[in-house]
Structure 1
């Protein structure tokens, strides 16, 4: 099935936000449907604006976003439920056959044979954060397919989920999770997962594991460092509760929160809705003030995060601003800054169509200063566009993930409060 969906210039239904958002989501969805690896159905790490890559590289975290995208597609009527189930079963078969390490998947696998593709020389084993992004999506799928005749999908996901030995990524009884472990090089990569960053979801899932879970002190001493990840300073007049100066790249506010609902989510360290809204606003205000004088920045053109750049992959943020705008940064911030995100979306759609868009919607990034436009789409940037726009429109993925009993138990265990834990209906955005 091939979905012919293109971004229009000028946009159709110019005054209809929902029609525009649907168009953008549907175009990005094609990355995970038409652009998926042909044998495994999993998400390619990246893809060309007009052609598929000539390799079998599949991304585990990006595939987690791909599972979420399929659920949105069913709900929006872009594909039939039976077609989505067939694709999901194909993807699950690939994961079941793939090489994992104590149940933890590597960053990349070969989509044809499931073998590990090393991310770097020392990173040839389990990647706990990529695995977390995968299971964030798989838990949503499990919760979605709740009919009696869909038990096989639920059972297959549960087997994968129960097989992950989250506590195997604790080194020498330290009170912190480690990002990588290699069967050949052991802990040589040596990256503890400490916040504030994109990896809150790893601790939520590790504490949720029914068989290989972590205790709460690993979260408090490891990720939160007993509060040392607090910030509390003002940037452009906005207080930032957690994290590095100016908030860091915007994927911090997106990756963990495609499933984890930040509305009303609090613990002893922060209100996570406030954290993400303020982080996004600081990112927006940085482009508005434009202290480095980058061409094109302003109220309609903003969004700094990790993306492809003229010199390769770049981690862009207000603290490390190389003049690179990534559409995913503003679009995935729609729940936090709806007016500012919609202005950016309309601006992006008005840019030269042959440069800013490709077969799967917006290209990964562009640099107004150098008139450079990426020739690629990237899975981990395409996925949050679909997921976070959908959470703004319907809350679908937040509802699914937060309905999982293990997730609710994990949040209680780690000391979080959330409207989802009170038995009430879903929270409204503050």
Structure 2
């Protein structure tokens, strides 16, 4: 990808809105282009402001977001379409040779060999949620790269085969009315992590219901995901009523990860209007930072956004009820569609106030904590990807249009009882 000379952060902050968004997206995309694994082209879990890691670890969820960023890059001409397809084919070649578990991929793998790299002692097999983030991106790529060329046909064929071979019903554990997150041949379902909401995992249930060969029945969603302890809320925070989720809404990635593909505009089911949900979640997070009840340095109307990220002590899911003074730029930037004025103010403020401490070779660093004069030297794939994708969804709706046009997804959403402008005319499933 050809790069022009990178402007100073202060100059960048003075650009018109559209030019600034283009610059932020394009710089961030570098994480998935120059910063990708040199053999497979898959997304690394993380890298730093100065160097790439000297290992072969790649992350499956980040690769899914990276596939969506690749679409944006091709569509905007940052890379040639042919180069984007070549990268996608390389990614798919690694996935095709990788160790899988009833079709599911692990959280981490070796980007050279496709071998599993365990996430923890018993998390050494298939990860349903990371695989869902992966397929959210791959299915968008199948929809976008639709030309009748050998490379694009090959990419579509491999994606379809991998998608059809993934046994979503396996994770219901012989018919339980809920999905379970992990399985491995050595530990089985020992982690016993049932996926109940409200959280980032809506996309996993949509994909599980949409699977053409191994789909789960609708009551797995209605009796599993929506029966979570923190699913229904209805309480008011800072003057905003929050339909779903834990107290104060939880980290902002709840409103990002599943909605990189799922278009929340007009998306409803018996539980919520998901545009209303995500706007309310963002507003609660923003208003909390403005109120700043703990008196953290820097917080205010121009500096907000709590989500999972690095912080001075490790990696934490930051939220209003778990706040140690760490602001994660991905939180505000990926919320552009839900709070455009507030997001743009934060973007400019980060650049003007902190300059090169927050802005570098792959865009905004992962997080900072002014109270402790700490600024991350890391970029994390699952934080960088939504910046590119959600900004694009605000600008053009590109990924939303692609994902919501996928025939299997439309059928799965109808099966679960969702309505959306994208689903008009979609026939009800045969029961």
SS at match of 2:372: coil
Aligned partners of 2:9 and 2:359 also within 8 Å: no
SS at match of 2:91: helix
Equivalent residue in structure 1 for 2:418, among 409, 416, 419: 416
Ranges of 4+ aligned residues in structure 1 off by more than 3 Å: 1-7
Supply the distance in 2 between the matched residues of 1:187 and 1:255 (Cα, whole angstroms).
25
Query: By how many angstroms is 1:170 displaced?
Result: 1.1
SS at match of 1:104: coil
Aligned partners of 1:7 and 1:361 also within 8 Å: no
Cα deviations by residue, 1:303-334 (Å, 9 ceiling, x for unpaired): 00000111111110001111000000000000
Aligned partners of 1:11 and 1:20 also within 8 Å: no
Cα deviations by residue, 1:264-286 (Å, 9 ceiling, x for unpaired): 00000000000000000000000
Supply the distance in 2 between the matched residues of 1:327 and 1:253 (Cα, whole angstroms).
15
| C-alpha distance 48-4 of structure 1, shift in aligned 2 (>3 A) | farther
| C-alpha distance 233-157 of structure 1, shift in aligned 2 (>3 A) | same
Equivalent residue in structure 1 for 2:276, among 274, 277, 282: 274
Supply the distance in 2 between the matched residues of 1:263 and 1:304 (Cα, whole angstroms).
23
SS at match of 2:11: coil
Supply the distance in 2 between the matched residues of 1:230 and 1:237 (Cα, whole angstroms).
18
Query: By how many angstroms is 1:112 displaced?
Result: 1.3
> TM-score, normalization: structure 1?
0.96
Residue number in structure 1 paired with 2:429:
none
Query: By how many angstroms is 1:382 displaced?
Result: 0.1
SS at match of 1:47: strand
Cα deviations by residue, 1:93-124 (Å, 9 ceiling, x for unpaired): 01101111000000000111110000010100
2:31 maps to 1:31: yes
Residue number in structure 2 paired with 1:118:
118
Residue number in structure 2 paired with 1:385:
387
SS at match of 2:41: coil
Supply the distance in 2 between the matched residues of 1:327 and 1:13 (Cα, whole angstroms).
14
Query: By how many angstroms is 1:148 displaced?
Result: 2.0
| C-alpha distance 228-73 of structure 1, shift in aligned 2 (>3 A) | closer
Residues 122-271 of structure 1 aligned to structure 2 (within 5 Å): 122-149=122-149, 150-225=152-227, 229-271=231-273
SS at match of 2:194: coil
> TM-score, normalization: structure 2?
0.96
Cα deviations by residue, 1:246-294 (Å, 9 ceiling, x for unpaired): 0000000000000000000000000000000000000000000000100
Supply the distance in 1 between the matched residues of 2:137 and 2:116 (Cα, whole angstroms).
21
Cα deviations by residue, 1:318-370 (Å, 9 ceiling, x for unpaired): 01111000000000000000000000000011133331122101100000111
Residue number in structure 2 paired with 1:341:
343
Aligned partners of 1:201 and 1:260 also within 8 Å: yes
Aligned partners of 1:5 and 1:23 also within 8 Å: no
Aligned partners of 2:13 and 2:351 also within 8 Å: no
| C-alpha distance 273-63 of structure 1, shift in aligned 2 (>3 A) | same
Aligned partners of 1:333 and 1:388 also within 8 Å: yes
Supply the distance in 1 between the matched residues of 2:198 and 2:342 (Cα, whole angstroms).
24
Name stretches of at least 5 consecutive residues in structure 1 with no aligned partner: 425-430
SS at match of 1:388: helix
Residue number in structure 1 paired with 2:302:
300
Aligned partners of 1:61 and 1:134 also within 8 Å: yes
Residues 299-338 of structure 1 aligned to structure 2 (within 5 Å): 299-338=301-340
Aligned partners of 2:89 and 2:154 also within 8 Å: no
Supply the distance in 1 between the matched residues of 2:76 and 2:425 (Cα, whole angstroms).
27
Supply the distance in 2 between the matched residues of 1:12 and 1:245 (Cα, whole angstroms).
37
SS at match of 1:66: helix
Supply the distance in 2 between the matched residues of 1:112 and 1:311 (Cα, whole angstroms).
31
Mean CA deviation greater in 344-353 or 287-296 = 344-353
Aligned partners of 1:47 and 1:53 also within 8 Å: yes
Residue number in structure 2 paired with 1:428:
none
Residue number in structure 1 paired with 2:99:
99
Supply the distance in 1 between the matched residues of 2:81 and 2:65 (Cα, whole angstroms).
18
Residue number in structure 2 paired with 1:72:
72
Query: By how many angstroms is 1:138 displaced?
Result: 0.4
Q: How many residues align?
A: 424
Supply the distance in 2 between the matched residues of 1:142 and 1:249 (Cα, whole angstroms).
30
Supply the distance in 1 between the matched residues of 2:352 and 2:314 (Cα, whole angstroms).
26
RMSD: 1.4
Supply the distance in 2 between the matched residues of 1:7 and 1:421 (Cα, whole angstroms).
43
Supply the distance in 1 between the matched residues of 2:117 and 2:32 (Cα, whole angstroms).
20
Cα deviations by residue, 1:15-40 (Å, 9 ceiling, x for unpaired): 51000000000010000000000011
SS at match of 1:307: strand
